[in-house]
Amino acid sequence: MTHPELIPGLAGIPAAESSISFINGLEGLLSYRGIRIEELSAQSHYEEVCWLLWNGELPTQAQLDQFKLRLRPHRELNADLKKFVRGLPQSGHPMEALQASMATLGMVSPGVDLKSADSRLDACERVLGAMGTLIASCERHRQGLDLVEPDPELSVAANFLYCLNGERPDEIKTRVLDCALVLHAEHTMNASTFACRVVASTETSPYTAVSAAVGSLFGPLHGGANERVLRQLESIGGKENVEAWVDKKMAAKEKIMGFGHRVYKTKDPRAHDLQKLAGQLFETHGSTPLYDTALELERIVTDRLGDRGIYPNVDFFSGIVYQKLGIPTDVFTPIFALSRTAGWLAHWMEQMEDNKLFRPGQIYTGRKDVHYVPMAQR
Ligand code: CMC
């Protein structure tokens, strides 16, 4: 029997048909439901983008208002969930806390009837509604601070900053975070979305599927890169050190965080937009020397590795932006999760519409016909 060829990391192998988003990696194009990301980041906002991803088209004003109203009550965490958050160890990473508390949200929410479109939507709205409060609450608990009750009048972005810092954010900070949420909301069949769909395919709830996706996003090759980019920029210690630092990394054959992508072979379009956002934020809130280091790093890495298709990805500038918003470094990846929840849930719904259990094959490389040896004879 001939074996099928193994494609490491399933690179380029379609895992589903999907109409949610599209990437052209050579030209650096990304669209959600056919609309280019640049148009959405300039003109739309996160809640509208969520609706778009879930429904396939832009909402009318009435639809959007209704959607926002339905999300509001879900921002508030139920008493048992708050108790759970307050009982979490303070030593862990916020992504671990998020993964655990997302699964717990499922335990304190009504059961999901997968055959009912209304019940499926209700569960998705509960996940999306709670996400920001959950992340902020886990972080405040970790810092030993009291939890802040969500404000239903605020947008997802503003409410997140409010629950995290206990202060209402100014307009520019809200707009910048909202735009970052739009940029990270969806990105075809990446590792965490695939994880979400695999779990969804066993016909389980969005709480467990999103919890699995959070676990997948945590790793440094995926969403976990954003906090490492910032630490990397800090450790370089200034623009003048960049060249020697890159030489050392390359000689050690170590990866440079915030560069490279499985699909993009040019600069990630989201990195362009995040760079613009950083610029806007610096105009009102002052610049940071890390930005100069980042620009020099981009110049040198692109010069050395650009011919191999290695350019800045979405994580390269996001950390600089979040740091300027006053967000602790460990919370960068949870923000990615907050945003990507929209895409994960769109995929959960799409998977539920025409489900087939994921059960790939493998190429067996182990021994055959081995016999059990009793302990005394080994
Ligand atoms: N720095 C230096 N070399 C790199 C980098 C990098 N950032 N990325 C890829 N390469 C090299 C790699 O060493 C390998 O070289 P060789 O062929 O000589 O062994 C070659 O390029 C192929 O690398 P790969 O890791 O097999 O390729 P991939 O398609 O799996 O890479 C990636 C995608 C994102 C895992 C990788 O580029 C990487 O690890 N980047 C750093 C981490 C990072 O920034 N991740 C965020 C990804 S974007 C946000 C998201 O969607 O989560």
Task: For residue 1, name the pLDDT band (cuts at 50, 70, 90).
Answer: low
Structural domain total, the chain? 2
Quick one: 163 and 290 in the same domain?
no
CA 189 to centroid of chain Cα atoms: 13
Q: In the annotation, is 261 catalytic? A: yes
Which residues, in sequence order, are bridge partners of residue 35? 32
- Give, in degrees to the nearest 5, the angle at Cα 347 between 341 and 349: 100
Q: Which of 2, 328, 358, 48 is nearest to 165 (CA)?
A: 328
Last residue of a domain, one of 324, 342, 364: 324
Q: Does ligand 1 have an atom closer than 6 angstroms to the CB of 225?
A: yes
Q: Does ligand 1 have an atom closer than 6 angstroms to the CB of 261?
A: yes
Quick one: 93 and 201 in the same domain?
yes
Catalytic residue among 141, 261, 272, 347: 261
Does residue 89 belong to any structural domain of this protein? yes
Q: Does ligand 1 have an atom closer than 6 angstroms to the CB of 262?
A: yes
Q: Which of 339, 314, 35, 57 is nearest to 186 (CA)?
A: 339
Task: Find the 374 Cα to ligand 1 centroid distance in Å.
Answer: 46
Instruction: Report the distance separating Cα 242 and Cα 309, nearest Å.
Output: 20
Does residue 361 belong to any structural domain of this protein? no
Task: Find the 260 Cα to ligand 1 centroid distance in Å.
Answer: 5
Question: What is this structure's pTM?
Answer: 0.95
Q: Does ligand 1 have an atom closer than 6 angstroms to the CB of 294?
A: no
The atom of ligand 1 lying closest to the CA of 258 is 44
Q: Which of 140, 177, 165 is nearest to 338 (CA)?
A: 177
Q: In the annotation, is 354 catalytic? A: no
The percent of residues in the chain predicted with pLDDT above 70, rounded, is 99
Quick one: 92 and 24 in the same domain?
yes
What pLDDT was estimated at residue 287?
87
Quick one: 38 and 83 in the same domain?
yes
Tens-place pLDDT, residues 228-268: 999 999 999 999 999 999 999 999 999 999 999 999 999 99
Q: Does ligand 1 have an atom closer than 6 angstroms to the CB of 217?
A: no
Q: Which residues contact 73 (CB under 8 A, 6 or more apart)?
A: 129, 152
Task: Find the 92 Cα to ligand 1 centroid distance in Å.
Answer: 27
CATH code for the domain in which residue 51 is found:
1.10.580.10
Give residue 36's domain range: 19-220+330-353
Quick one: 194 and 343 in the same domain?
yes
Quick one: 282 and 168 in the same domain?
no
Tens-place pLDDT, residues 125-178: 999 999 999 999 999 999 999 999 999 899 999 999 999 999 999 999 999 999
Catalytic residue among 178, 268, 273, 315: 315
Instruction: Report the distance separating Cα 60 and Cα 52, nearest Å.
Output: 11
